[in-house]
């Protein structure tokens, strides 16, 4: 009988690439991870890892085993969800990951509603860049999280996760003068920290326009980004949720690009009552606020509402092209 805990370590190694990264993510020591993977090799009777100095690579047999492990983990999650469905009320911890601009507009109202309707459900929120969310969900440090993709940065398929669409936004170029991307090849740029999704989309969008951006400032909070734009320190890409409190003098030019946000969770947990409740609360919170371009509740249907530029209208000198 294969040990499920050891299978989880092998699955994480397939994604994180190094034993040290697996150990750090799952609170093991590197030597303990190595010992468990060696024991898994003995259980299976096949070579799972090819070692070259400090590096390890999964063998074809190991990759096949990881594919089967994903099915096992999803089945276990569905079993837990079925058991939870028989309980009379929601209780216990549920950890939610969200990017910063979604917290005031979507997550906070959802928390209020969930706390009122399910007082024994202990909700915990952590800010998380969407680029780090898949690993956190697989490692079970998050249960539900908001993930994103841009037209320029499509999301990779992850067999460990399921998701449902939530929101689609226009992406704007924020500057102190009007004009599109092609006119900004010599401008200073403001982008997210390297490795974040916002940093990647800035580079790819500019490359698609025919140039490499000269990034002068790095900032992950859109309030900070827009303050730098207003101060004449550069231009930046900002989605609708990030532009809700722009300083005076910022001009937003709509680009032919979209940011799509989905609710993600581990495969097999989608029917768990707590996950169902959180997803419903997030969708309801979005519906209660100013209209945005939204996506409907399943992956095969899309419902779009008009973009209401009034949500940006509080400063009198914020302009939209």
pLDDT tens per residue across span 182-195: 889 999 999 999 98
pLDDT in tens, 248-289: 999 999 999 999 999 999 999 999 999 999 999 999 998 855
Start-to-end Cα distance in the chain: 63
Is the per-residue pLDDT at 214 higher than 90? yes
Average pLDDT over residues 90-94: 90
| Nearest to 166, CA basis, from 311, 282, 300, 268 | 282
Q: Are 128 and 145 in contact (CB under 8 A)?
A: yes
- Residue 87 makes CB contacts below 8 A (sequence gap 6+) with 273
85 pLDDT tier (thresholds 50, 70, 90): confident
303 pLDDT tier (thresholds 50, 70, 90): very low
**The total number of residues written for the chain in this structure:** 321
- Residue 19 makes CB contacts below 8 A (sequence gap 6+) with 13, 30, 33, 34, 37, 56
pTM of the model: 0.77
Place of tokens 């400032």: 217
Q: Helix 4-16 crosses helix 60-85 at what angle (to 10 degrees)?
A: 120
* CATH code for residues 4-85: 1.10.10.10
Average pLDDT over residues 120-142: 91
- Reading the block at residue 83, the tokens are 């058991």
């Amino acid at each position: 009988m294969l040990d499920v805990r050891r299978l989880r370590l092998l699955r994480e190694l397939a994604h994180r690439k190094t034993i040290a990264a697996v150990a750090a993510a799952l609170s093991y020591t590197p030597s303990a991870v190595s010992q468990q993977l060696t024991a898994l090799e003995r259980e299976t009777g096949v070579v799972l890892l090819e070692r070259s100095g400090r590096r390890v690579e999964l063998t074809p047999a190991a990759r096949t085993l990881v594919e089967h492990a994903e099915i096992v983990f999803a089945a276990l999650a569905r079993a837990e969800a079925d058991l939870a469905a028989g309980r009379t009320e929601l209780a216990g911890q549920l950890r939610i990951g969200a990017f910063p601009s979604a917290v005031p507009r979507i997550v906070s109202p959802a928390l209020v509603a969930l706390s009122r309707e399910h007082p024994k459900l202990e909700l915990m929120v952590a800010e998380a860049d969407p680029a780090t969310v898949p690993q956190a969900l697989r490692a079970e440090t998050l249960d539900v999280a908001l993930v994103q993709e841009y037209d320029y940065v499509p999301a990779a398929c992850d067999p460990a996760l399921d998701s449902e669409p939530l929101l689609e936004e226009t992406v704007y170029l924020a500057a102190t003068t009007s004009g599109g991307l092609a006119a900004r090849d010599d401008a200073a740029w403001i982008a997210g920290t390297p490795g974040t999704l916002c940093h990647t989309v800035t580079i790819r969008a500019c490359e698609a326009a025919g140039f490499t951006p000269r990034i002068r400032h790095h900032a992950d909070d859109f309030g900070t980004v827009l303050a730098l734009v207003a101060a004449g320190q550069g231009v930046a890409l900002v989605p609708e949720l990030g532009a809700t409190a722009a300083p005076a003098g910022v001009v937003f030019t709509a680009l032919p690009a979209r940011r799509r946000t989905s609710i993600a969770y581990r495969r097999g947990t989608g029917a768990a009552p707590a996950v169902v409740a959180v997803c419903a609360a997030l969708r309801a919170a979005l519906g209660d606020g100013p209209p945005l371009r939204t996506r409907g509740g399943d992956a095969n249907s899309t419902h779009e509402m008009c973009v209401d530029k009034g949500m940006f209208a509080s400063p009198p000198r914020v302009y939209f092209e």
